[in-house]
A and B are shown apart, each in its own frame.
Chain A
Amino acid sequence: MAHAVISCLHANLAAVEAVLADIDQQGINTITCLGDLVGYGPQPNEVVELMRQRAIPTCQGCWDEDIIDGLNACECSYPSQLAERRGHLAHQWTDAEMTAENKRFLASLPTSLRRDKLLFVHGSPNSQHEYLLPDMNAFAALERVETAGAETLFCGHTHQPYVRELRGGSIRVRVQHNDSSSSEEQDMTLPMRRIVNAGSVGEPRHGNTQATYVIHDEATNDLTIREVSYDVAKTCQAIIDAGLPEVFAWRLSHGFEYAERADDASHVCER
């Protein structure tokens, strides 16, 4: 059975509709969403309502959390003052725009979903704010999956889709205790694990404007990254009509994220 995983919708209705149509067309019924339904984009209520109407199991993203808890991320999560001001502006606009019912829905979302050996999170099992980038230290990446007790970890947050298989790993250690001058050696064979990043439906950051998501065939264990075209101009017009900064429309139409990623992507805000 194949299932689809989508992430980072960012209130971009045209993109969400196009991706759901692409999934439907392939006869896939199981969809999981990794959060960030809202933020920056012009249609937060419409996107949340669509997800509720389709009853798509969803975990909470960092934007969803911020909308219900108030701005929680520390300034270190923004790479610049400009990105921070724009982030706050988008936050205030989204906060004012969203209905209480839709906010309650965001508040009800779990931070992770689990199906057998598959784990679904927004950022990492540690935090909605942690970026698991494709070139992250392989041992640290494996630690995230292994500590969470999963075989395949589905995540989003970076807006760059990838499938990473970690295999053939081993670690040898030598241990000395205080009460002996001899040392013992141990070998640990590491299990094979996978990290799958679903990319972004509503705010792509992989070099073009197409929405991305992934399909996992559980029978063959194959993973496919899908790219879907959508009416970018329609969302750009909606951004301008909503009174959001025009530069958001410009960035979206050129395949740039609304705000650059923080310099130190491995930094996790402790607040």
Chain B
Amino acid sequence: MERWALVSGLGGDLEVYEQIQRELKTKRGLDRLFVLGDLIGPKHNNDALLKRLQQPQRGDLPPECIYGWWEEQLLAERGYRGDRTAEALRINHGNDAVEALLASVDTGHMAWLASLQFGFIELDCALLHGSSADVGDELMPSSSPLILLDRLTRLDVNRLFTARSTQQFRLDLNGGAIDSHIKDLNGEHNQQQEVPKRSVIGIGSGEMFSLYAPGSDHIEFVKVGVKPVSRGLGFG
């Protein structure tokens, strides 16, 4: 049965990545490793991790990466996003943070970073950093269910995996409906729409990552070096 590992928020920390790779070797039946953005971050020099992601070592589960919020800031500042710059980073953390980010990534990695996609659609799952609305969209258990449903609807997927909030959670939409009354030049009519059975899953960040089996819809939240707190969180 197919199983995926879902990782994000490495922030240039090669050590954490190596720990995760070691841990993945102990798990059986893992087919794919998705790294959902924020490969880079402000705390480390990012070059070693970026090199490792592009050139996996023997035995590594090969990573499939998308860009996240930090990559977006870097790409914008280095002119890969039209007229945009790293405005969000500059406003929140000042110009020094922007300079530090520029210094932490060798320009040799830019072409590869620029080639990364916004997200993956695998089976009926969207694998994203933020949401279908924006790479910086923070989806959490406390987000309005209306917004979560909208983000699922935009990509017409049943499962949306998100990383931006750094939290590990699973939120299932499992009931409800809405009535619509429409009046136009042809007359009036009513529709009822039910809430589709869909889920938003927060995969965690850094040492916190997730394992997912799309066949059984089983999710397992993992922390590096710690046995799972609970098993069987899936609702298959």
Contact = CB atoms under 8 A, between A and B. Distances in A.
B172 interface: yes
A193 B77 CA distance: 40
B145 A171 contact: yes
Interface in A169-218: 169-181, 186-188, 190, 206-207, 212
A137 B169 contact: no
B144 interface: yes
B180 A178 contact: no
Interface in B167-187: 167-185
A137 B193 contact: yes
Given A176-B233, A225-B184, A140 B176 contact: no
A: contact size bracket: 35 or more
B153 to A, nearest CB: 5
A212 B178 CA distance: 28
B229 interface: yes
Contacts of A177: 141, 167-169
Contacts of A187: 176
A106 B225 CA distance: 60
Interface string A131-144: 00010011111110
A85 interface: no
Given A138-B193, A139-B146, A178-B168, A223 B178 contact: no
Contact of B195 (A172, A178, A266): A172
Given A178-B168, A178-B204, A138 B221 contact: no
B158 to A, nearest CB: 14
A243 interface: no
Contact of A139 (B82, B153, B169): B153
Contacts of B193: 137-139
A14 to B, nearest CB: 21
A179 B228 CA distance: 9
Contacts of A176: 169-171, 233
Interface in A108-151: 126, 134, 137-143, 146-147
Nearest to B184: A162
B31 interface: no
Contacts, number: 134
Contacts of A181: 229-230, 232-233
Contacts of A206: 184-185
B227 interface: no
B146 A142 contact: yes
B141 A175 contact: yes
Nearest to B189: A134
B208 interface: yes
Given A172-B195, A174-B174, A176-B170, A147 B185 contact: no
A190 B173 CA distance: 14
Given A139-B178, A166-B178, A266-B154, A171 B146 contact: yes
Contacts of A162: 182-184
B150 interface: yes
A178 B149 contact: no
Contacts of B208: 178
Given A173-B145, A188-B146, A166 B179 contact: yes
B172 A174 contact: yes
Given A174-B172, A175-B169, A167 B179 contact: yes
A165 interface: yes
A139 B183 contact: no
Contact of A167 (B82, B144, B181): B181
Q: With a 10 A CB-CB cut-off, give which of B173, B178, B191 has the most chain A CB atoms.
A: B178
Contacts of B82: 271
A142 B182 CA distance: 13
10 contacts: A161-B185, A164-B182, A166-B180, A169-B179, A171-B195, A174-B172, A175-B169, A177-B168, A179-B229, A225-B184
Interface of B: 82, 133, 141, 144-150, 153-154, 167-185, 191, 193, 195, 204, 208, 221, 229-230, 232-233, 235
